[in-house]
Amino acid sequence: MLKIECPPQNTRMKSHYDVAVVGAGVLGLAHAYHLARRGLKTVVFERTPHARGASVRNFGMLWPIGQPPGPRYRLARRSLEIWREVLQASGLWYDSTGSLHLAYHDDEAQVLDEFVHLAGDDCSVSLLDASAVTRRFPALNPEGLRGGMWSDTEVTVDPRQVIAGLPGWLNRTLAIDFVFGTSVLGYDRPVIRTTGPECRADRLVVCTGADFRELAPQSFAEAGLVPCKLQMMRSAPYGPEFRVGTMLAAGLTLRHYQAFSACPSLPALIQRFDSEMPEYGKFGIHVLLSQNGLGELVIGDSHEYGAAISPFDNSRIDELVLQYLRTFINIPDLRIAARWHGVYVKHPTDLYVVAHPQPGMMAVTGVGGAGMTLSFGLAEQTIHAWLGDSHG
């Protein structure tokens, strides 16, 4: 049974820290982890009583396969290595499910075939024919199935559970202090102004996700970040009789992840999608599915950018997502138990954005739809670039 832990009660603040981290989303937690492992006295401020940003609203897909082969894929693999150490040590639920991209048209199968050849030995992927796919994953729709691309690397976590559970573990094992329900308002080194008691730290790391603008307005304006809204759904839980067995993606995903951009047949595939399924393009829909430890299916998503973002969700998007989902998986008695949206910020070309708005302050954001996957590897990189091998 999956347990969602309450974050630790606010720990007793020391008068002075080596480093303070703003934000207890996945990037804040990953940075705090690496800083404390260097022996730095670390405190994390989170403005809400439980982190509620993108880090608890996602699929829980630790998904290196979404990164193009080469340095980005290697960073994702390194990140996963650290995630595994953290998950094993903390005892938080995870499942080494791998991932499967399905092809129901020849042009989709062609792109997968090209990807596997281009990736070479870089990625641990292989092609499965239709009968191998349905033998292994019986819930999948055999009709029209051309085959799939299997990757054994990906790991599923429950974002609500890990983001709630990690602070307690980080406090117990690395003595990281946490202050929830407290906003950081500004930093006049070493003084941190907050909505609670003042605190001092020699350095400040800002991991405030889409709220980056507030603490570093100038850097935000220069960074060229774009916000993106995604609509999501979660089913009622299924018992052991219905386990999908892996995380799923299908044809529409091939145009979404940069990983596939080098495939020569991709432009023709995108043209077909645009002419046959224009509404999917309009809302940036591709369909992914993961299943958590409670047996709930997490289903999404859409991508609406910048000024197109409405505070209200669009039920047509959910209909389109479910319609496409039903083309590749037969889900018994699907009941949607929760609907929500999340917002992240992304950079048009860079994998993430690091800014140094003032001495002693580093802001990290813009990791878009790959923040869960990249978090621990990215934080290792940013801290190394900032502090080198020293302890700051």
Ligand X SMILES: Cc1cc2nc3c(=O)[nH]c(=O)nc-3n(C[C@H](O)[C@H](O)[C@H](O)COP(=O)(O)OP(=O)(O)OC[C@H]3O[C@@H](n4cnc5c(N)ncnc54)[C@H](O)[C@@H]3O)c2cc1C
Name the residues that contact ligand X, by CB under 6 A: 22-28, 45-48, 51-55, 57-61, 63, 183-184, 207-211, 214-215, 230, 232, 300-301, 342, 344, 365, 367-373
For the CB of residue 175, give the shortest distance to ligand X in the complex, in Å. 20
The residue sitting closest to ligand X, measured at its beta carbon, is 371
Three-class secondary structure of residue 232 per DSSP: strand
For the CB of residue 134, give the shortest distance to ligand X in the complex, in Å. 25
For the CB of residue 158, give the shortest distance to ligand X in the complex, in Å. 11
- HEC profile for 345-387? EECCCCCCEEECCCCCEEEEECEHHHHHHHHHHHHHHHHHHHH
User: Among residues 196, 220, 224, which one has the least CA distance to residue 206?
Assistant: 220
Smaller CB distance to ligand X: residue 24 or 127? Answer: 24
Three-class secondary structure of residue 32 per DSSP: helix
Whole-angstrom CA distances from 132 to 101, 143, 158, 287 are: 13, 14, 28, 22
Q: Which residues pair with 289 in a beta bridge?
A: 248, 299
Smaller CB distance to ligand X: residue 58 or 265? Answer: 58
Smaller CB distance to ligand X: residue 265 or 382? Answer: 382
Q: What is the rounded CA–CA span in Å between residue 377 and residue 76?
A: 7
Smaller CB distance to ligand X: residue 39 or 217? Answer: 217
Smaller CB distance to ligand X: residue 40 or 155? Answer: 155
For the CB of residue 339, give the shortest distance to ligand X in the complex, in Å. 11
For the CB of residue 184, give the shortest distance to ligand X in the complex, in Å. 4
| First-last CA distance in the chain | 42
Smaller CB distance to ligand X: residue 31 or 255? Answer: 31
For the CB of residue 86, give the shortest distance to ligand X in the complex, in Å. 15
Q: What is the rounded CA–CA span in Å between residue 321 and residue 302?
A: 8
